[in-house]
Structure 1
Amino acid sequence: MGAQWKNKHKQDAAASKGRIFTKLAKEIMVAARNGADPDMNAKLRSAIDAAKKASMPKDTLERAIKKGAGLLDGPVNYESVTYEGFAPHQVPVIVECLTDNKNRSAQSIRMLFRKGQLATSGAVSWDFKHLGQIEAVPASDDADMELAAIEAGAQDFEAGEGNEVVFLTEPTDLDAVSKALPEFGYEVHSAKLVYRANNPVELSGDALAEVEAFLDAIDADDDVQNVYVGLAG
């Protein structure tokens, strides 16, 4: 995700908790279809961690788990759909949706991409790496990020915001590494699969503002779950 838009998005998120909670609840519901016990369901465990990091109320979290597991209000019928395309100035974008109506989502995405270019599957994703991304903080002063990365099986690591460390993994290693990190002094705050651009585009001024407005509009759509963009920080 382009760092500048990501930071701006985080500031906006502070004023729109409701939208964030809705997206997190959908993720929890979809994950809980494979079981309501986070100890036995890695995807659900990751979704719960993300919800707790965002300070989702406990009753909202528990209701989403029960609803997803079919213990409340009938079954959940969200489907995952991924779209690829370009923002203005040929900035590559991958959009992940969770929707109960694929036709509605497709129509919304087509409308949102009018100022950019909607592309076919594979037209953009080839230029992104699909990785596991773990955000963690040291639990003690003597925690060694390099040692933790090597011992836990991470592929790479980098400094995050504040004292946070971002550990990168192969997609299949995400759960194993997130479980191992606490043994080496790191408290995991989130663990998820992401796309990272290989060749991010550098923009500034009006061009950057135009792309940010485009991305904000996509992210605000109710069916959109995640937006990944090849925009340099």
Structure 2
Amino acid sequence: MGAQWKAKHRAAAADAKGKLFTRLTKEIMIAARNGADPDMNPRLRLAIDAAKKQSMPRDTLERAVKKGSGQLDGAVTYEKVVYEGFAPHQVPVIVECMTDNVNRTISNIRVLFRKGQLGSSGSVSWDFDHVGLIEAVASGADSDIELAAIEAGAQDFEQGDDGEALFITDMTDLDAVSKALPEFGFAVESAKIGYRPKNPMRLEGDALAEVEAFLAAIDDDDDVHELYVGLA
């Protein structure tokens, strides 16, 4: 399974909740640019659902929607920027950032990639599929992941531990599959458009530890929103 799903670096940090809220807030604000009504804006609905699952306070959530949709004065404008490159041992990496200062972000990314190799646009994305990624948990012992994937309209799935599952969809089907999965025994934990490695690498021992340390440093940057890695 993709390291972007298994690795939970931020969950191990003492300030993980605050960082998670910051990232969720940015996603809500960007999604709200296309409208403040979640019923008419699937991306906003998914972002709000993700925030609610993390127990984001209602006033924080509502303020993020208003800022993003232009209902409040002085709102910060965030821009999505994507960087590609290699971690140590030539492991491909895609870094999605949400930033209000692109110059600051690229400066930080260059420093963080000193132990790897920062590439140009397209240098590694060809080795990833751009898809919908839905993390879900089986609602009961009799939940059938293969049946759920077929019936809900997912392209593929990966079975995790303790009832965890990853459903892969076409980007355009993400919202529909997310809505359908609960009918077939899977509670959706998160749903997003992301990247899935086509040819994930396997590392062990010191090599794996070196790559994980590199990724943890990148993930710790405040502007980094999502991190996708070509590791099995």
TM-score by length of 1: 0.90
Q: Does 1:197 align with 2:201?
A: no
The C-alpha deviation readout for 1:15-62, integer Å capped at 9, x for no partner, is 521111111111111111111121111111111122222232222222
Task: For 2:18 and 2:133, locate their aligned partners in 1 and report how far apart those are by CA, in whole Å.
Answer: 24
Indicate the RMSD between aligned Cα atoms, in angstroms.
2.1
Q: Does 1:167 align with 2:198?
A: no
Q: Is the 8 A contact 1:70 1:76 kept in 2?
A: no
Q: Give the match for residue 33 of structure 2.
A: 33
Task: For 2:78 and 2:54, locate their aligned partners in 1 and report how far apart those are by CA, in whole Å.
Answer: 22
Which blocks of at least 5 consecutive residues in structure 2 are unaligned?
A: none
Q: Does 1:146 align with 2:141?
A: no
The C-alpha deviation readout for 1:128-163, integer Å capped at 9, x for no partner, is 111111122344555432222112211112223422
The structure-2 alpha-carbon separation of the partners of 1:154 and 1:118, relative to structure 1 and needing over 3 Å to count, comes to same
Q: Is the 8 A contact 2:139 2:186 kept in 1?
A: yes
The structure-2 alpha-carbon separation of the partners of 1:43 and 1:70, relative to structure 1 and needing over 3 Å to count, comes to same
Bigger mean CA offset, 223-232 vs 132-141:
132-141
Q: Does 1:22 align with 2:13?
A: no
The structure-2 alpha-carbon separation of the partners of 1:45 and 1:5, relative to structure 1 and needing over 3 Å to count, comes to closer
Identity over aligned residues, as a percent? 72
The structure-2 alpha-carbon separation of the partners of 1:201 and 1:194, relative to structure 1 and needing over 3 Å to count, comes to same
Q: Secondary structure at the match of 1:106?
A: helix
- Please state how far the C-alpha of 1:205 moved relative to its aligned partner: 2.0
The structure-2 alpha-carbon separation of the partners of 1:63 and 1:13, relative to structure 1 and needing over 3 Å to count, comes to farther
Task: For 2:86 and 2:203, locate their aligned partners in 1 and report how far apart those are by CA, in whole Å.
Answer: 14
Q: Secondary structure at the match of 2:7?
A: helix
Q: Is the 8 A contact 2:133 2:191 kept in 1?
A: yes
Q: Is the 8 A contact 2:149 2:155 kept in 1?
A: yes
Q: Secondary structure at the match of 1:33?
A: helix
Q: Is the 8 A contact 2:4 2:228 kept in 1?
A: no
- Please state how far the C-alpha of 1:91 moved relative to its aligned partner: 0.8
Q: Give the match for residue 212 of structure 1.
A: 212
2:77 partner amino acid: N
The structure-2 alpha-carbon separation of the partners of 1:4 and 1:154, relative to structure 1 and needing over 3 Å to count, comes to closer
- Please state how far the C-alpha of 1:99 moved relative to its aligned partner: 0.8
Q: Secondary structure at the match of 1:59?
A: helix
TM-score by length of 2: 0.91
Q: Is the 8 A contact 1:133 1:168 kept in 2?
A: yes
1:193 partner amino acid: I
Task: For 2:4 and 2:228, locate their aligned partners in 1 and report how far apart those are by CA, in whole Å.
Answer: 13
Q: Is the 8 A contact 1:96 1:227 kept in 2?
A: yes
Bigger mean CA offset, 203-212 vs 39-48:
203-212
- Please state how far the C-alpha of 1:196 moved relative to its aligned partner: 1.4
The C-alpha deviation readout for 1:51-101, integer Å capped at 9, x for no partner, is 222232222222211221222243441111110000111111000011111
Bigger mean CA offset, 47-56 vs 79-88:
47-56
1:43 partner amino acid: R
Count matched residues: 232
The structure-2 alpha-carbon separation of the partners of 1:133 and 1:13, relative to structure 1 and needing over 3 Å to count, comes to farther
The structure-2 alpha-carbon separation of the partners of 1:225 and 1:207, relative to structure 1 and needing over 3 Å to count, comes to same
Q: Does 1:128 align with 2:128?
A: yes
